[in-house]
Structure 1
Amino acid sequence: MNSQSSSSKWADLAPRVLSAIAMAAIAVAAIWLGGAAYLALIVVVIGLCMWEFARLLQPTPTALPIVMGLAAAVGIFLSSLGPINAPGVVMSPQIAALFVAPVMGAVLANRHRLLFFGYGLLIMLAGLGFLAMGPGPALIWFILIIITSDVAGYFAGRIIGGKKFWPRVSPKKTWSGTIAGWIGALILGLIGMSQGVFTPLEAAFVPLIAFAGQMGDIAQSAIKRMVGVKDSSNLIPGHGGVLDRFDAMIGAAGALVLLAGAGTLIFAG
């Protein structure tokens, strides 16, 4: 009994690792090539995330998820064509393009309209964040922070176990895994500081990026639990859908964009 329980605990590890390797290879190739390859990766990922998100909230046969996914992909592409904003300009065409898919969902959906707009906009802001970080060191460190937090949380949660973090929303997540994710991110931040990548203050804030990623994961889990599904789709073996794999990065990247925008407004004033 214990042997079966132990083996089932790790049953998803093999497909999860193999899928992660494949995704990492694609990401590394796109980042290495940069330019159009990197832009294509971000456009496809954000488009698929929006499509999956819309399918969760609007599961009945409808064209809305496809249209929203295409609108999201086009919006990210348009936002890459020039400066996002000029000094003194509140709304530019690039900024307006980010709102098309979320507004479309809020207007055309027959339920969950506020969620369509709010989480849809977070997906678009995350796409903007990926473009801003670009295929360079900032993006590499960002990805390492999220992966380190996720891996540390995954193994600590299954080895240590203990009290659940938020059982009504995400029954598999434990406090041990959550805290291990923060510690893993902090260690990575300290390593970055020792290499001159982060200042001491930035290194201290690295766990907050991990926390935003964890909250992105929690938010997506809450949406899936609300609509009664396990995965956002079955596109990725061992991970479910694209949104299941990128939910943490969407939370963290979206939070970074919002914080950067707030900081710009504060210092501009």
Structure 2
Amino acid sequence: MTAKSGQWDDLLVRLSSGGVIAGVGLLSVWLGGVWFLALTVIVAAVMIWELARMLDAEAPALALAGVAGVALLIAELVPSGFALPLIVAPALVGFGQLSRHRTLFTVFSLSVLLAAFGLYVLRQDFGFTWIAWLVIVVAATDIFGYFAGRFIGGPKFWPRVSPKKTWSGTAAGWIAAAVVGLAFLGATGAGWELIGVSIAISMASQIGDIAESAVKRRVGVKDSSSLLPGHGGLFDRFDGMLGASIFLLIVGQIVDFPPGLA
């Protein structure tokens, strides 16, 4: 199928800024320690700032981001039992400060902080390899979904909320995730269940993407901010990672992870 004129106009900008984001992220993951801690705190705080601005223009977005960043920083340095109330507290603070969309802020801010904390713990417990697997699954889902959706096209997934997302791109993301799972299976000696987990992680990342699109549609904004050329804001870039990270936290309580190696 021939690509329509203009639908690739954003490709170069997306690839350039996406490459920088991926490079910084993977370097921080590889270095671990204070570098990855700093990455999770900064990204989470910026996402809270974007979320508050989207939901309520009068909200003290910068202050809420500061509270969230400090709380997450302390949470990642203390035992997990003491970390839990620190993760929940910023959502409660925001609930009291916003005059609109309080429930949305509570749910999404708690999800952001829980995902960031979970990623830090995952890096501490399992090392670089499995964070890299998670990042690559989410990235492959996004990249292959982007190209398949534009080359193949076809029926829309949910046009009222996400008009560019197609079923062909959605399915391509699952296939890409399965291939990533197969590659890591061979490289790590993990069990065949890793392929199924990878596909599920891909689906969860797509749910995170759709959920953020639904929030933007509800409040009438195109992007969460304009920080990243071609991508909008950090929330726009990390919405898939948010869904995938939350799902991985749940998966770890249901199946042995990494499968075949736990």
Scaled by the length of structure 2, the TM-score of the pair is 0.91
Structure 1 residue runs of 5 or longer lacking an equivalent are 86-92, 265-269
Aligned partner letter, 1:13: L
Measured after TM superposition, the shift of residue 259 of structure 1 is 3.7
Between the aligned partners of 1:209 and 1:177, the Cα distance in structure 2 is 16
Match of 1:209 in 2: 201
Maintained 8 Å contact 1:128/1:257: no
Report the secondary structure of 2:230's partner residue.
Answer: coil
Query: Compared with structure 1, are the counterparts of its residues 111 and 185 closer, same or farther at alpha carbon in structure 2 (3 Å cutoff)?
Result: same
Partner SS state of residue 4, structure 2: helix
Within the alignment, does 1:31 sit opposite 2:25 as a pair?
Answer: no
Alpha-carbon offset, residue 261 of structure 1:
4.8
CA distance in 1, matches of 2:84, 2:248: 16
Shift of 1:20: 1.1
Whether the aligned pair in 1 keeps the contact of 2:145 and 2:171 (CA below 8 Å) is yes
Match of 2:165, SS state, is strand
> Whole-Å Cα distance in 2 between the matches of residues 197 and 235 of structure 1?
40
- Give secondary structure in 2 for the equivalent of 1:171: strand
| Matched AA of 2:70 | V
> How far off is 1:107 after superposition?
2.1
2:65 to 69, 72, 93: 69
Q: After superposition, where does 1:66-215 map in structure 2 within 5 Å? A: 66-85=62-81, 93-134=82-123, 136-215=128-207
The alpha-carbon deviation at position 154 of structure 1 amounts to 0.4
How many angstroms apart in 1 are the aligned matches of 2:234 and 2:113? 15
Q: Counterparts of 1:105 and 1:197 in 2: how far apart (Å)?
A: 44
- Alpha carbons of 1:118 and 1:263: their partners in 2 closer, same or farther (altered >3 Å)? farther
Q: Is the 8 A contact 2:40 2:117 kept in 1?
A: no
Q: CA RMSD in A?
A: 1.8
CA contact (8 A) 2:182 2:194 kept: no
2:217 aligned residue (192, 204, 225): 225
User: What is the CA-CA distance between 1:197 and the residue it aligns to?
Assistant: 4.5
Looking at structure 2, the residues matched to 129 and 53 of structure 1 have their Cα atoms a distance apart, in angstroms, of 20
Distance 1:243 1:187, change over 3 A: same
What residue number does 2:259 align with?
none
Question: In 2, distance between residues paired with 1:131 and 1:228?
Answer: 33
> Where do 1:6-21 residues align within 5 Å?
6-21=4-19
Aligned 8 A contact 2:71 2:86 in 1: yes
- 1:99: Cα distance to partner? 0.8
Aligned length: 252
Shift of the alpha carbon at 1:263?
A: 6.8
Q: Matches of 1:45 and 1:223 in 2, distance apart?
A: 19
Looking at structure 2, the residues matched to 75 and 259 of structure 1 have their Cα atoms a distance apart, in angstroms, of 25
User: Does structure 2 retain, via aligned residues, the 8 Å contact 1:45–1:242?
Assistant: yes
In the TM superposition, residue 209 of structure 1 has moved relative to its aligned partner by: 0.3
- 1:89 aligns with none
Partner Cα distance (1:99, 1:242) in 2: 21
Say which SS state the counterpart of residue 196 (structure 2) adopts: helix
Letter in 2 for 1:206: S
Aligned-partner SS, 1:234: coil
CA deviations 1:190-230 (Å, max 9, x no partner) are 12222235311122221100100000000000000001110
Alpha-carbon distance in 2 for matches of 1:197, 1:127: 27
Q: Distance in 2 between matches of 1:223 and 1:162?
A: 25
Match of 1:50 in 2: 48
Q: Distance in 2 between matches of 1:195 and 1:26?
A: 24
Q: How many Å separate the matches in 1 of 2:152 and 2:134?
A: 26
Distance 2:141 2:243 in 1: 13
